[in-house]
A and B are shown apart, each in its own frame.
Chain A
Amino acid sequence: MESTTFIAIFATIVTASTPLLFAAIGELVVEKSGVLNLGVEGMMLVGAVSAFAVSTGTGSPYLGIVAAIGAGGVMALLFGILTLTLLANQVATGLALTLFGVGLSALIGQGYVGTPATGLAGIQIPWLSDIPVLGGLLFQYDIMVYMSLALTAAVSWFLFRTRPGLILRAVGESHDSAHAIGYGVIPIRYMAVIFGGMTSGLAGAYLTLAYTPLWTENMTAGRGWIALALVVFSTWKPGRLLFGAYLFGAVTIGQLHIQGLGVAIPSQFLSMLPYLATVIVLVLISRDQLRIRLNAPACLGKVFHPSA
């Protein structure tokens, strides 16, 4: 394969993987703290439309990114109030967050359908971007790609190399013990949940600012749910999550290229591939029950009330 074609395909895989990585790395932190937020899809959509609206309104995609972080955080705060303060069922609340996010984003975005966005441009890094092949392969992306990779590394370091990270994991493993030692289970979970909302917002922003600089209703097309599956696939480990996100990016792009080549398979069947791959990956990872039980945070999805 010619190196330019290879670089082009690799670059599209990176852009398809980045939103999955953003959404999944945040959800990983949330789940490590013992909370299951199924509202990723809804938070992504609200983040996506906020980024789009602010970016077209101000002409600055960077302000769009900030808006998406804020919008995702507010959505997550709603989830936190319901599940952490008002002790609502996390599965039901997560579903509510997604249903609400689908409606709210459609309402905000209805004036923006069909208008182009001010998208993010790739950054040319002096010297590095000019290296033949390698420069094109690694040093020509927009800022959010680098952000997503840095964030993954930072989360890995935070969770497994710092004391606050240890406390967060302790809260997820046994909230009663953590509470007895004197750690604030609820405040820690609030912070984790809001962090997850912010990265979901970023994931949405990447879709409207870089992946397809347009707004369409429900444009996440299940990516929030795929991100949730990726967290299980990673067995809650950031390194494996990175691998998983890029694997799914490759599946998405692979099927698009096959469609582009004009292969005599109806496009709908190729479009199914990412969803079927998610199911297959879930099955492969879940069949080893011991591994899931050893790695899943023991308090995942359980309600915590200090008086109980």
Chain B
Amino acid sequence: MILAAVGSIGVTHYLLVGGLMFTAGVVCMAVKRNALGVLMGIELVLNGANINFVAFGSSYLAGEGRSPLGLDGEVMALFVILLAAAEAAVALAITLNFYNNHGTVDVDRADDLRG
């Protein structure tokens, strides 16, 4: 019943999932006071963008003819995963440094550079 309502899966379904994950990540970045929560929001945003890359590159989901991106979408997704891992490592090091210096991970307390 539900499956009949969904119908056959196309690119749009993947785009909807990616859009919801992107929105959740943006809200997570904006709302969380914990620096690690902000970091998780960034991961969600990158993951949502990755879903779009894979969906556009998949020849399984393309309706007729070839997919517009082809293999390039998957290569871009791989690069995004690599850069996300690198970014998580550096951001976590910065967070640990901040915790060592201030004794907290509350980003509202990181106002040392306020003019």
Report whether chain A binds chain B: no
